[in-house]
Amino acid sequence: MSPDNVTDVTDVPADWDDLQLKWDRFLVESFYERGHLPTQAVKVIFRSAHAPDISWEALSENLLRFPQHVWHSKVPFTRFVAAYLPTISKALFHYTKDDIERLVSAVNRLKSTTRREEVDKKEMNRLRSHSARSKDSYRRTKLERSGVRDWHDKFNLSNQWGVTK
Protein backbone atom coordinates (compact mmCIF):
# COMPACT_ATOMS: atom_id res chain seq x y z
CA MET A 1 0.00 0.00 0.00
CA SER A 2 1.46 3.34 -0.95
CA PRO A 3 1.68 6.18 1.59
CA ASP A 4 -0.81 8.21 -0.46
CA ASN A 5 -3.53 5.61 0.17
CA VAL A 6 -2.91 5.34 3.91
CA THR A 7 -5.04 8.37 4.74
CA ASP A 8 -8.22 6.42 3.90
CA VAL A 9 -8.79 4.60 7.19
CA THR A 10 -12.55 4.18 7.11
CA ASP A 11 -12.38 0.39 7.10
CA VAL A 12 -9.99 0.16 10.07
CA PRO A 13 -11.53 -1.53 13.14
CA ALA A 14 -12.09 0.39 16.36
CA ASP A 15 -9.09 -1.17 18.14
CA TRP A 16 -6.87 0.31 15.41
CA ASP A 17 -8.08 3.74 16.54
CA ASP A 18 -6.81 3.01 20.04
CA LEU A 19 -3.54 1.70 18.65
CA GLN A 20 -3.23 4.82 16.48
CA LEU A 21 -3.64 7.00 19.58
CA LYS A 22 -0.98 4.93 21.36
CA TRP A 23 1.39 5.32 18.40
CA ASP A 24 0.83 9.08 18.30
CA ARG A 25 1.57 9.33 22.02
CA PHE A 26 4.63 7.13 21.59
CA LEU A 27 5.79 9.21 18.62
CA VAL A 28 5.65 12.45 20.60
CA GLU A 29 7.24 10.94 23.72
CA SER A 30 9.96 9.25 21.68
CA PHE A 31 10.78 12.48 19.91
CA TYR A 32 11.76 14.00 23.24
CA GLU A 33 13.04 10.95 25.12
CA ARG A 34 14.39 8.56 22.48
CA GLY A 35 15.34 10.93 19.68
CA HIS A 36 18.90 9.63 19.49
CA LEU A 37 17.80 6.02 18.89
CA PRO A 38 17.43 4.63 15.38
CA THR A 39 13.84 4.60 14.17
CA GLN A 40 13.98 0.81 13.93
CA ALA A 41 14.69 0.57 17.67
CA VAL A 42 11.75 2.88 18.44
CA LYS A 43 9.49 0.73 16.26
CA VAL A 44 10.60 -2.43 18.08
CA ILE A 45 10.01 -0.83 21.49
CA PHE A 46 6.51 0.26 20.45
CA ARG A 47 5.59 -3.11 18.99
CA SER A 48 6.83 -5.06 22.01
CA ALA A 49 4.93 -2.78 24.41
CA HIS A 50 1.65 -2.22 22.55
CA ALA A 51 1.21 -4.68 19.66
CA PRO A 52 3.32 -7.83 20.03
CA ASP A 53 0.86 -10.02 18.12
CA ILE A 54 0.47 -7.69 15.12
CA SER A 55 2.75 -8.08 12.10
CA TRP A 56 5.00 -5.30 10.82
CA GLU A 57 3.05 -5.20 7.56
CA ALA A 58 -0.24 -4.68 9.36
CA LEU A 59 1.23 -1.89 11.47
CA SER A 60 2.67 -0.18 8.39
CA GLU A 61 -0.58 -0.43 6.47
CA ASN A 62 -2.97 0.66 9.21
CA LEU A 63 -1.10 3.20 11.31
CA LEU A 64 -0.67 6.73 10.09
CA ARG A 65 2.75 8.33 10.64
CA PHE A 66 4.33 4.90 11.13
CA PRO A 67 7.65 4.31 9.28
CA GLN A 68 6.75 2.74 5.95
CA HIS A 69 10.03 2.08 4.17
CA VAL A 70 13.38 0.55 4.99
CA TRP A 71 15.19 3.85 4.72
CA HIS A 72 12.84 5.37 7.32
CA SER A 73 14.22 2.94 9.89
CA LYS A 74 17.90 3.67 9.33
CA VAL A 75 17.93 7.25 10.62
CA PRO A 76 17.73 8.60 14.18
CA PHE A 77 14.16 9.13 15.32
CA THR A 78 14.33 12.93 15.40
CA ARG A 79 15.64 12.84 11.83
CA PHE A 80 12.76 10.58 10.81
CA VAL A 81 10.21 13.01 12.22
CA ALA A 82 11.95 16.07 10.77
CA ALA A 83 12.48 14.57 7.32
CA TYR A 84 9.33 12.53 6.77
CA LEU A 85 6.73 14.25 8.99
CA PRO A 86 7.52 17.96 8.48
CA THR A 87 4.26 19.42 9.80
CA ILE A 88 4.57 17.46 13.04
CA SER A 89 8.25 18.23 13.43
CA LYS A 90 7.62 21.98 13.33
CA ALA A 91 5.23 21.66 16.26
CA LEU A 92 7.49 19.30 18.21
CA PHE A 93 10.53 21.53 17.80
CA HIS A 94 8.48 24.58 18.77
CA TYR A 95 7.04 23.16 22.01
CA THR A 96 8.64 21.37 24.93
CA LYS A 97 8.27 18.05 26.66
CA ASP A 98 5.76 19.62 29.10
CA ASP A 99 3.13 20.04 26.35
CA ILE A 100 2.91 16.32 25.46
CA GLU A 101 -0.85 15.96 26.09
CA ARG A 102 -1.72 18.90 23.86
CA LEU A 103 0.72 17.75 21.18
CA VAL A 104 -0.66 14.20 21.19
CA SER A 105 -4.21 15.43 20.67
CA ALA A 106 -3.06 17.75 17.88
CA VAL A 107 -1.06 14.99 16.15
CA ASN A 108 -3.98 12.58 16.46
CA ARG A 109 -6.31 15.03 14.71
CA LEU A 110 -3.95 15.27 11.73
CA LYS A 111 -4.43 12.91 8.84
CA SER A 112 -0.86 13.33 7.62
CA THR A 113 1.19 10.33 6.69
CA THR A 114 4.88 9.70 6.28
CA ARG A 115 6.38 11.21 3.19
CA ARG A 116 8.02 8.90 0.68
CA GLU A 117 11.07 11.16 0.32
CA GLU A 118 12.90 13.45 2.68
CA VAL A 119 11.76 17.05 2.83
CA ASP A 120 15.33 18.23 2.23
CA LYS A 121 16.39 15.51 -0.20
CA LYS A 122 18.48 17.78 -2.43
CA GLU A 123 20.38 19.23 0.51
CA MET A 124 21.01 15.80 2.04
CA ASN A 125 22.27 14.44 -1.30
CA ARG A 126 24.61 17.42 -1.58
CA LEU A 127 25.95 16.82 1.94
CA ARG A 128 26.39 13.09 1.33
CA SER A 129 28.30 13.67 -1.91
CA HIS A 130 30.43 16.36 -0.23
CA SER A 131 31.24 13.92 2.55
CA ALA A 132 32.20 11.23 0.03
CA ARG A 133 34.39 13.69 -1.89
CA SER A 134 36.06 14.76 1.36
CA LYS A 135 36.82 11.15 2.29
CA ASP A 136 38.25 10.47 -1.17
CA SER A 137 40.38 13.60 -1.03
CA TYR A 138 41.71 12.64 2.41
CA ARG A 139 42.61 9.13 1.23
CA ARG A 140 44.30 10.47 -1.90
CA THR A 141 46.34 12.98 0.12
CA LYS A 142 47.35 10.30 2.58
CA LEU A 143 48.51 8.01 -0.22
CA GLU A 144 50.43 10.83 -1.91
CA ARG A 145 52.19 11.76 1.32
CA SER A 146 53.16 8.17 2.05
CA GLY A 147 54.46 7.83 -1.53
CA VAL A 148 56.60 10.96 -1.18
CA ARG A 149 57.96 9.73 2.13
CA ASP A 150 58.85 6.34 0.64
CA TRP A 151 60.54 7.98 -2.36
CA HIS A 152 62.49 10.34 -0.09
CA ASP A 153 63.67 7.47 2.11
CA LYS A 154 64.71 5.43 -0.91
CA PHE A 155 66.64 8.13 -2.75
CA ASN A 156 67.94 10.30 0.07
CA LEU A 157 71.71 10.43 -0.27
CA SER A 158 72.26 10.33 3.47
CA ASN A 159 70.83 6.80 3.45
CA GLN A 160 73.28 5.61 0.79
CA TRP A 161 76.24 3.71 2.25
CA GLY A 162 78.54 4.78 -0.55
CA VAL A 163 77.91 8.46 0.20
CA THR A 164 78.22 8.31 3.98
CA LYS A 165 81.44 6.27 4.29
d(CA 164, CA 88): 75
Q: What is the pLDDT of residue 3?
A: 44
Contacts 24+ apart (CB under 8 A), 127-135: none
List the pLDDT tens digit at each of the 165 positions of the chain.
444 444 444 444 558 999 999 999 999 999 999 999 999 999 999 999 999 999 999 998 899 999 988 888 889 999 899 888 888 888 888 888 888 888 888 888 877 777 666 677 777 777 778 888 888 888 777 777 777 777 767 776 666 666 555
The domain limits of the chain are: 3-109, 121-164
CB-based contacts of 87, cutoff 8 Å, min separation 6:
110, 112
Q: What is the pLDDT of residue 162?
A: 61
Q: What is the pLDDT of residue 11?
A: 42
Q: For residue 2, with 0-12 CB atoms within 10 Å meaning exposed, 13-18 middle and 19 or more buried, which class applies?
A: exposed
